[in-house]
Structure 1
C-alpha cells in the first residue's frame, strides 16, 4: 500500500537507453526519476503539492487512456531525501510503444509538475535573493501574477510562480499557466529565419521580391535582414495601441501598402509589426507550412514546449493568465489583439519554464548552430555604419563590457540572455506596464556572483 505523503516535485532526470534484451529487441527503456525534498515547509506552500497516491493514479490513467501497449518500458521512481527510509520509496511501471515514448513523456509532463534538476545546495543563496527580490517588486508594482525561470550553465536552476493568474476567480499563477510573450515572440521568428538560412532556403541579404510577389515597388529591394532588425523603413500595419489599422488585418494591409515608406531601407531603426508580418509570409512560403506549424514543429517540439500555443485576448486559450493594467479606474482587464497574420510578431503564449527550456535548446545547438546564433545576436549595421538596436529578431541591449540580448513583449514579458555568463533570466507577468526587462538585471546579479562549486 502506498504511503500517502504531500510532496513537492523538485528534480527531473530522463534517461533513454537501448534495451536489446527486451522483447521486441527494438524496445527502449525510459527512466523518469523524481527526487523529493520536504525540507522547506514554506517552499511546499508556494509550490504545487501532490499526494503520492494521486501521482500513481494519474500515471495509470494517462497510460491506459492513450492505449499504450507492452513494447517499451516507462518507469517512474520517486525517491526521498533528508533521512527518508526505504519505506518512503515507491516505483510504478507502465509499458508503451517504442515509437510513442516521446508522447508518453509529454503526457506525463502534463499530469505531474516537473522541475529541472539541480545539485543540492547549488545556487540556494542566489535563489533566495531572487525570491525575495521578486516578491518585493511584485508588491511595489502591484503585479497580480508572475512566473520566473533562471538558466545557468544550460540548467534551469530556479523556477517559481507567484500571485494570481486571474484575480476575480482567485486562480493561482501556477507554473503551467500560459502567459503571452507578445513581442518577445520575435526572437522565435528570428530563430525560424536562421533555420531556413541554414537549410539554404532563405538568404538574409536577398531582397523581399525574391520570396514575395505583388509587393509595392518601394518594398521590393528591402533585405530580409532589415525586416528582422527593424531597419526596413516600412510603415506600421498597426496603430499606436497595437490594433490593426482599419479595424482588421485586410484593411491594415491595404492601408500599409498605400503609404509611402517612412525612410530608405537601412537608414534608421524604426520598430513596427509590418516587418514580422512579412517574415511570417516568407517562413510560410519557404518552409512550406503555416508559420505557427513551422514554429511548433521546428522549435516547440524540439525544446519540449508542450504548453506553447498561439493566440490573443480574443482566442479561447485554456490555462491562460488574464492580463491586467492599472488605470484611472484601478486595476482593470487589458485586452490585446494579434490577428493570425501578425503572430510572428507577438502571438506566442507559453510558460517561463518552457521559454527556459527553449533557451537551453538554443544554447546547446539543438535549434540552430552557434555561428547562426552569433549572427542573430549581432546588431544590424545602419547605412551610416553605426549599430542599430536589434539583431535578427532580438534587441541587442549592449555589446560591452559583455553582450546582452533579449526578448521583450507587451510591457509585461521579457527574457534577457547573458551569453558570456551562460545565464538567462525569464520573467512573465500578467500586468501591462510591469516591464520586467527593467528589473531582470537586478536578478541576474545574484547569479553572476553565485557559488558554483559542484
Structure 2
C-alpha cells in the first residue's frame, strides 16, 4: 500500500502539494533578529504560483510602521538589471549596437574611451574606474562627490578624467560608473529621462505600478526608511538627488513589483522572453578563457548544486536588496531590507534552498573541525596574496588559480582580502564550502578536495 500512496502523490499537480511556509517565515525572522534589521519584505514565486509574500519588522522605526509586501525600498545595484534591460530594448529598436564604441553615441566622452563598447559597459568589462572608489593620482578628491548634484554631461566629464584600469574586454571589474554612463546614454538615445523610458517600456506594461525613480524629496506612499548601524541604529546619510537616482542604482520598488517582474521572466510568450537568455550568458574573454566571476549582461550568473542561477544584489543609502532567479525551474526569490548591512543575499539563498534543496547554501550552525577551517582560510589568504602553501593544493589546482583569476576576484570584491569572516557552510570528504563577507557582496568559496584532503579545485561565486 505504501508504494501506491507514493505513486499517487507523484501524479498530483505540483501546486496541489502545498509548501509549508512556516520554515520560510522562521528563517526570515531569525535573520532579521540576528542582524538587527528593522524591516524585511520577501517574495518567493515559482512559475505562475506565488509561494510566499510577507513583510517582517518595521518599515519605519520612528513611527512603528510595519513592513509589508507593499513597502517600497531603494533597491541599489539591483537596478542595474533593469538598466541593462532598457539598453537591450534600445538595441532591439535598432537605436543602439552592443559592439559599437560608446563614443559613437556620446561624442563628448574622452578619446581614451573609444575602445569601450556598449557590451563592455553592460558586462562590467570597460576598465572605467568605479566612482565610489577612484580618485586621480595626486588628487585626494573623489571622481564624484556624493553630496553634489551633477548633470549627465558633468558626470561623463568627471568619470573620463581617470585612465582606464585595463584594456576593455580583457577583465571583469565591478564598477558603478559603467551604469552611470548607461543611464545617461539611455536618456540621450531614448529622448527622455531613462527612468521615464523604463517606466513606459517596462514597468507599466509589466504591471510594476509602484516601481519608480528613487527620491528623497518625493512623497512616496508605503516608503520604507533606510537605516545604518553605527554605535546604534541611525538614519542613512544624505545623498544628492541626482546621484540618488542614476542608472547604477536609482530605483525604488516593492516585492510586489518584483513578483510581476518574475512573471515577465517565466512567461515565454511575452515580448521580452527572447531578450533575457542572452543576458544570462557569460561570454569568454578574447583569448577563450572564462571569467572567474560570472557577470553577464546586467546579471550575475552562477550555479549551485549543478543548477544555473541568475540575479543581482544592491546596497545603497540605508537599504539592501537581492533577487535571484532559476531559469530551469522558474523559481524567484526577492528580499528587500531597510538596513544597509543586511545580509539579503544570504537570506535569499537560504530561502531558495528551503524551497529547492539543490540550492542550499545555509551557513552551518557550528564547525565540527575548526582546524581544517583555519587551514583552508590560511590557504585562501595566501592565494589572495599571490602565494601558495606547499602541499595544500594539487599541482593542477595551483595552475588553474592564475594571477588573473586572483586579480578578478579582488577587482570585483576587494574587501575579501581583509574580511574577518570565514564561515563554514558545509564540508564533506569531497568538498568544503565557505562564505566570506566582502562588503557589498558575500563571496562563496567552494573547494574541491582529493582523497588526500588536498584542494583540487576552487570555484568562487558572488551573492
With the length of structure 1 as denominator, give the TM-score of the two structures.
Answer: 0.67
Query: Any conservation in 2 of the 1:237–1:255 contact (CA below 8 Å)?
Result: no
What is the alpha-carbon distance in structure 1 between the residues aligned to residue 160 and residue 353 of structure 2? 46
Which ranges of structure 2 fall in alignment gaps of 5 or more residues?
1-12, 136-141, 359-463
The verdict on how the C-alpha distance between 1:254 and 1:224 changes in structure 2, with shifts beyond 3 A counting, is: closer
Report how many residues are paired. Answer: 331
What is the alpha-carbon distance in structure 2 between the residues aligned to residue 349 and residue 122 of structure 1? 34
The verdict on how the C-alpha distance between 1:366 and 1:311 changes in structure 2, with shifts beyond 3 A counting, is: farther
Q: Which moved more, 1:354-363 or 1:415-424?
A: 354-363
1:338 Cα offset (Å):
6.2
1:367 Cα offset (Å):
6.1
Q: Does 1:386 align with 2:287?
A: no
Query: Any conservation in 2 of the 1:144–1:163 contact (CA below 8 Å)?
Result: yes
What is the alpha-carbon distance in structure 2 between the residues aligned to residue 232 and residue 148 of structure 1? 34
Q: Does 1:156 align with 2:56?
A: no
Q: Does 1:166 align with 2:60?
A: yes
Q: Does 1:376 align with 2:279?
A: yes
Which ranges of structure 1 fall in alignment gaps of 5 or more residues?
1-117
Residue equivalent to 1:308: 211
1:423 Cα offset (Å):
0.3
SS in 2 for 1:421: coil
Alignment RMSD, CA only? 2.7
Residue of structure 1 aligned with 2:302, choices 377, 384, 397 = 397
Query: Any conservation in 1 of the 2:19–2:51 contact (CA below 8 Å)?
Result: no
Residue equivalent to 1:124: 19
The verdict on how the C-alpha distance between 1:178 and 1:209 changes in structure 2, with shifts beyond 3 A counting, is: same
What is the alpha-carbon distance in structure 2 between the residues aligned to residue 305 and residue 336 of structure 1? 27
With the length of structure 2 as denominator, give the TM-score of the two structures.
Answer: 0.66
SS in 2 for 1:431: coil
Q: Which runs of structure 2 are paired with 1:253-264 in the superposition (5 Å)? A: 253-264=156-167
Residue equivalent to 2:333: 425
What is the alpha-carbon distance in structure 2 between the residues aligned to residue 166 and residue 240 of structure 1? 34
Query: Any conservation in 2 of the 1:155–1:360 contact (CA below 8 Å)?
Result: no
What is the alpha-carbon distance in structure 1 between the residues aligned to residue 18 and residue 39 of structure 2? 24
Q: Which moved more, 1:272-281 or 1:334-343?
A: 334-343
- Which has the higher Rg, Structure 1 or Structure 2? 1
Q: Which moved more, 1:389-398 or 1:137-146?
A: 389-398
What is the alpha-carbon distance in structure 2 between the residues aligned to residue 297 and residue 267 of structure 1? 35
Residue equivalent to 1:104: none
Q: Which runs of structure 2 are paired with 1:2-401 in the superposition (5 Å)? A: 122-125=17-20, 127-239=21-133, 244-245=144-145, 247-249=148-150, 252-313=155-216, 316-328=219-231, 330-335=232-237, 337=239, 339-340=241-242, 343-365=246-268, 368-384=271-287, 385-387=289-291, 388-398=293-303, 401=306
SS in 2 for 1:284: helix
SS in 2 for 1:190: helix
What is the alpha-carbon distance in structure 2 between the residues aligned to residue 224 and residue 199 of structure 1? 15
What is the alpha-carbon distance in structure 2 between the residues aligned to residue 232 and residue 416 of structure 1? 25
Residue of structure 1 aligned with 2:354, choices 437, 441, 446 = 446
